[in-house]
Structure 1
């Protein structure tokens, strides 16, 4: 039996502009650990990823849409980054609602790169220790977060485990923190 055989993970992303490694590597690590991973996006079809925010990356199949998911059906939420993806996620009220529901249900929320922008708009950044890609540091600090430049930051002070990370270079630590949160 794998460590996460009974766990269901929701990954929320947009259909275009997600950093390819930040989507594909967590999905692969979680599935390898035994979890069932569901990819939710704005529309059915595929996620057209980008490498380095500019070069086309692989397409990833979409399992469902945002409006079809409920936090109560999952054990954790993963939010991949990418500039375009992060900016679109933060503005989507359904994504904000689902993210707040995971926090209210005391379920882990993991966000990498530009995805912590969503935490600002969902009202979940204030008072939390976190990290992100350095270019959005001021946005997070201005929203009341305690930002540090570390590969991964795990904050449990808000009643749920908030896992944040900076860039694709930090994915091993990010993935390990998610798996740890689900086996603790």
Structure 2
């Protein structure tokens, strides 16, 4: 079941007490798809943890071409558990997403969020990790257009919309296409978190 969420126009929607994990490799993540959702979620009251593959700075890119900001991760994703979080966010960036989708630790972590009925969100090329984690079949979703065939071949229904929310299959999946969609993407995550029950244990 998919839906078109309504987007908060500001940060009045509070998700205080919610815990969100962001997964990234250490190079090639699209700058705005990492920094802007983190900022929006924190502004709305969530506690956000950025987990990278290694305990080293995350070097971002802008449009896969020029260097972006460097982000210091809070931990590595090999050291965290889905039990401690209410949602997981997977940013894009072609290089980042291509490396992330082959990482078995990232795959296991994403599957754990889904099997526990938690929110899974991915943007741009980030849905590549959804394919490798077996989370696409039967889902309606979107992505950067160039990987739409990959998602359809994995059993998903691809839509050309700025954000798609699918609540079927036991977990909520939120996807968006590109950096220009970061605002509605972030708003959809905030709305989904606001509708959940008690926060995950710390």
Query: TM-score, structure 1 length as denominator?
Result: 0.98
Is 1:94 matched with 2:99?
A: no
Matched, 1:39 2:39: no
- Alpha-carbon RMSD across the aligned residues, in angstroms, is 1.0
Name the residue aligned to 1:8: 19
1:110 CA displacement: 0.3
Q: Does the alignment pair 1:104 with 2:115?
A: yes
Rate the CA distance shift 1:2–1:146 in 2: closer, same or farther, 3 A: closer
The C-alpha deviation readout for 1:57-94, integer Å capped at 9, x for no partner, is 00111111111010001110000000011111110000
1:147 aligns with 2:158: yes
Q: Check whether the contact 2:15–2:46 (CA below 8 A) recurs between aligned residues.
A: yes
- Name structure 1 gaps, 5 residues minimum: none
Say if 2:75 is the partner of 1:75.
no
Secondary structure of 1:56's partner?
strand
**Number of residues paired by the alignment?**
184
Native 8 Å contact 2:165 2:175 kept in 1? yes
Partner of 1:50: 61
Residue 45 of structure 1 and its aligned partner are, at CA, apart by 2.1
Instruction: Give the 5 Å matches for 1:59-74.
Output: 59-74=70-85
2:182 paired residue number: 171
Given that 2:141 and 2:158 are in contact with CA atoms closer than 8 Å, whether structure 1 keeps it comes out as yes
* Inter-partner Cα distance in structure 2 for 1:117 and 1:157: 19
Shift in Å at residue 4 of structure 1?
A: 1.4
List gaps (5 residues or longer) in structure 2: 1-11, 196-202
Residues 13, 190 of structure 2: 8 Å contact kept = no
2:140 corresponds to which residue?
Answer: 129
